[in-house]
Structure 1
Amino acid sequence: MASVPVSDDVAAWLLDSDPALRWQVERDLLRAPADVWQATRARIATEGFGARLLALQDEAGTWAGGAFFPAGFDFDGPEAQPGAGQPWTATTWSLNTLREWGLDPAVLRERDTAGLIAANARWEYDDLPYWGGEVDACINGFTLANGLWLGADVDGVADWFVAHQMAEGGWNCEWVEGSTRASVRSTLNSLKGLLAYEEATGGTDAVREAQRRAEEYLLERRLIHRLTTGEPVADWVFRLAYPFRAFYDVLTATDYFRAASLLRDTPPDPRVAEAVELVRSQRQPDGTWLQARRHPGRVWFEVDVDAGQPSKWLTFHAARVLGWWDDSVHGSC
């Protein structure tokens, strides 16, 4: 039987949380019976964070009236300046959040959310149709995962990744501006969408090959190093922050490989080990992980603590990664 990767005190602390987090703690850390965590998960639509975000959906099926940015966003104004942080309130970000929290998609399907978005939302880039995707790899990764979740036709988005994969094996959201080198952030966000496609459909030969090449792109860098110099990609790769948004760090990267390993029932790649140990090294003596920073930008409401404080969300995700790794590498006890 797999071991529980948190102490009783930390488990009690994590259980005292919003249903969006509590059900995942029950299922993935405490291995509670299915009827227990399923009952908690069902509360997301009617209580706490999930209910608050659902209530902010407008009659057009969108959030903040826009696809990736709020309606009327001033691309020359203060919010668009370097360091200001992108607003996190528009439709894509709200769907990402509800999906990642585990909301039953039936709640949004009953509202015909996919159809309303198709009719009322278009990308800020070239006014492209929402479910057809955009030119940004990260945006397309989100669109693929959200479309599958809501029942939209997004097969064309999966094919987009095959057509736009770079020679190195990854993707870069700046390719349309002339970038020819892949980035770890764009590649991870693309892989997350493609993993959702694999889970929902089984994928295609071409898509699976694209996934393999992209995973290899990250693995040969051991998730954190530059291939050319061996130096860390950047300091931000070590700084954990929730909500994860579209950012890259050792926790978001290792959590992807955890999800892929479990979906495929395959052992962890040993090249993930260094990143896992960097996650482990940030565990505090009391068994928690601290919020290292807050990503700037407008939000509907806050869901986690300020920088420097113990984060329930980070503690859950980090403990889950360590539990998967230790059980897989050392064997369940």
Structure 2
Amino acid sequence: MDVIEYLMEGDPAIRWQAMRDLADAAPEAVAVERARVADEGWGARLLALQAEDGLWDGGVYRPGWVDRERPMYDAWTATHFSLQQLADFGADPADARVRRAIGRVRDHVRWDQPGAPAYFDGETEPCVNGVVLTVATAFGEPGDTVVRTLLDGQLADGGWNCRAEYGAEVSSLHSTICVLEGLRDWEQATGGTVRSRAARLAGEEYLLERRLFLSRRTGAVIDPRFTMASYPVRWYYEVVRGLEYLRRTYPEPDPRCEEALALLRSARRADGRWTLANEHSGPTSFAMEGEEEGLPSRWVTLRALRILRWAGDPIG
């Protein structure tokens, strides 16, 4: 099967992005396909799971049923990660169903702690706030409060770390990529500020100095999981996510991307597709058809193909 045909047999969330980024479809056709995200398939299923109080699964970062004595418990069904997924699907912010869902969050949802701020004002951890900023920008909500928090939390090496409030002084690629995505999205929507651009550029240097996955000191792979394509990415870093960020930010690859691009090329299967190599464990709202660890993945293939197209490779 032709790899574009394979993508076009997927969910509307996959199809409209493949049409726009790989098939050069007319904007009108892309818009028609994108409108289906909120009407059918994964996007419609996700929207239907939101309660009238704006929450998914009774909680903001963790579901309402999670035992608070288990702080490391991973579940992806609560509001924060549901909104991240809705933004990934590319649900049209002008759709009435999407506007209603975002309005519920804006008007009712506050972070889980007593007296906590509203969702779109963010909280303390940069990996969380970076995703909040991406969500806010995707759906037309202001992100200025979150931006100020992020800029104030940047570390001296140029990146961010969610453990900084507990004394960490070295940045984390996990935290840094979440922040960079949020700042890029916010700047593209608003024009940004001198300070936000300087912070973003320093964060990009932090990423590029490590060639996206290698130790700056030894040249060794920082974490084997960074080489494994995943989806949904949640708060985790991996090479494909780093390359996707740069694809959306730079007109062409920086030379320091070459090892990461070579890794991506080497992972391509003989049939032109890519495998979902690492599925982050934890309960999910529903299984996305065709997305199973160890098998070909439309999400990973879509991301990989548009990265390689950006790098000048043929996609067929």
TM norm structure 1: 0.89
Structure number with higher relative contact order (C-alpha < 8 Å, ≥ 6 residues apart): 1
Q: Report the RMSD for the aligned CA atoms in angstroms.
A: 2.0
Corresponding residue for 1:47?
A: 40
| Preserved CA contact (<8 Å) 2:92 2:98 | no
Corresponding residue for 2:266?
A: 281
| Preserved CA contact (<8 Å) 1:109 1:150 | no
Aligned CA distance change for structure 1 residues 110 and 189 (closer, same or farther; 3 Å):
closer
Match 1:260 to one of 244, 249, 253: 249
- Residues 62-73 of structure 1: pairs in structure 2 closer than 5 A: 62-73=55-66
How many angstroms apart in 2 are the aligned matches of 1:111 and 1:37?
Answer: 20
Corresponding residue for 2:309?
A: 323
The CA deviation string for residues 2-40 of structure 1, in whole angstroms up to 9 with x for no partner, is: xxxxxx611111111110101111111111111222111
How many angstroms apart in 2 are the aligned matches of 1:114 and 1:42?
Answer: 17
The CA deviation string for residues 86-124 of structure 1, in whole angstroms up to 9 with x for no partner, is: 111111111111111110112368654444324432223
| Preserved CA contact (<8 Å) 1:148 1:200 | yes
- Residues 213-224 of structure 1: pairs in structure 2 closer than 5 A: 213-224=202-213
SS of aligned partner of 1:106 = coil
Counterpart amino acid of residue 121 in structure 1? V
Match 1:307 to one of 281, 287, 293: 293
Structure 2: unaligned runs, 5 residues or longer? none
Whether 1:177 and 2:163 are equivalent positions in the alignment is: no
Counterpart amino acid of residue 63 in structure 1? W
Counterpart amino acid of residue 232 in structure 1? V
How many angstroms apart in 1 are the aligned matches of 2:114 and 2:298?
Answer: 40
Counterpart amino acid of residue 283 in structure 1? R
Aligned CA distance change for structure 1 residues 283 and 142 (closer, same or farther; 3 Å):
same
How many Å apart are 1:201 and its aligned residue?
0.3
How many angstroms apart in 1 are the aligned matches of 2:142 and 2:37?
Answer: 26
How many Å apart are 1:126 and its aligned residue?
6.1
Corresponding residue for 1:57?
A: 50
How many angstroms apart in 2 are the aligned matches of 1:288 and 1:74?
Answer: 40
SS of aligned partner of 1:283 = coil
Counterpart amino acid of residue 277 in structure 1? A
Whether 1:100 and 2:100 are equivalent positions in the alignment is: no
SS of aligned partner of 1:236 = helix
Match 1:143 to one of 132, 140, 155: 132
The CA deviation string for residues 202-224 of structure 1, in whole angstroms up to 9 with x for no partner, is: 10000000001000011111111
How many angstroms apart in 2 are the aligned matches of 1:126 and 1:208?
Answer: 34
| Preserved CA contact (<8 Å) 1:66 1:121 | no
Aligned CA distance change for structure 1 residues 52 and 113 (closer, same or farther; 3 Å):
closer
Between Structure 1 and Structure 2, the one with more helix by share is: 1
Identity over the aligned pairs, expressed in percent?
41
Structure 1: unaligned runs, 5 residues or longer? 1-7
| Preserved CA contact (<8 Å) 1:114 1:151 | no
| Preserved CA contact (<8 Å) 1:293 1:306 | no
| Preserved CA contact (<8 Å) 1:67 1:121 | yes
Aligned CA distance change for structure 1 residues 308 and 115 (closer, same or farther; 3 Å):
closer
How many angstroms apart in 2 are the aligned matches of 1:162 and 1:293?
Answer: 31
| Preserved CA contact (<8 Å) 1:172 1:183 | yes
Aligned CA distance change for structure 1 residues 305 and 100 (closer, same or farther; 3 Å):
closer
How many angstroms apart in 2 are the aligned matches of 1:110 and 1:87?
Answer: 23
| Preserved CA contact (<8 Å) 1:67 1:124 | yes
How many angstroms apart in 1 are the aligned matches of 2:27 and 2:103?
Answer: 32
How many angstroms apart in 2 are the aligned matches of 1:52 and 1:95?
Answer: 13
Match 2:110 to one of 119, 122, 130: 122
| Preserved CA contact (<8 Å) 1:113 1:150 | no
The CA deviation string for residues 46-74 of structure 1, in whole angstroms up to 9 with x for no partner, is: 11111111111110122112211112421
Whether 1:231 and 2:216 are equivalent positions in the alignment is: no
Corresponding residue for 2:280?
A: 295
Counterpart amino acid of residue 309 in structure 1? L
How many angstroms apart in 2 are the aligned matches of 1:249 and 1:284?
Answer: 19
